[in-house]
Amino acid sequence: MTTLSTPTENGAVLEYRLTAMDRCDSCGAQAYIAAEVNGSELLFCAHHGRKYEEKLRAVATTWHDETARLSETD
Ligand SMILES: [Zn+2]
C-alpha cells in the first residue's frame, strides 16, 4: 500500500499566492511569509519571517508561510 499524500508541518493548506513581486519589508528579498497585523499585511523573506515569527505570531491575525517552496526549488 502506497500513499502519495504528505502531511504539511503546520497542517495549513498550501496555497501559494506570494510572487516575486512581493518583497520582504525588512530587506527587500522575495517574500515567503505574510502576516496580517492590525488589518495590514506584513511581508517577510524566509530569513526575517523566522527571525520575527515568535513576536509576530503573538499579534498576527493570520499567518501565511510559503517557505516550503524554497526547498522545492532548491
Ligand atoms: Zn528579509
User: Ligand 1 center to residue 20 CA distance, Å?
Assistant: 13
pLDDT at 49: 97
User: Ligand 1 center to residue 2 CA distance, Å?
Assistant: 39
User: Ligand 1 center to residue 8 CA distance, Å?
Assistant: 24
Rounded Cα–Cα distance for residues 45 and 50 (Å): 8
pLDDT digits (tens, 9 = 90+) for 9-32: 555 555 789 999 999 999 999 999
User: Ligand 1 center to residue 9 CA distance, Å?
Assistant: 22
Only one residue has cell 517552496, namely: 69
Is residue 6 pLDDT above 80, yes or no? no
pLDDT at 16: 86
User: Ligand 1 center to residue 61 CA distance, Å?
Assistant: 20
pLDDT digits (tens, 9 = 90+) for 35-50: 999 999 999 999 999 9
pLDDT at 50: 96
**Which pTM was predicted?**
0.75
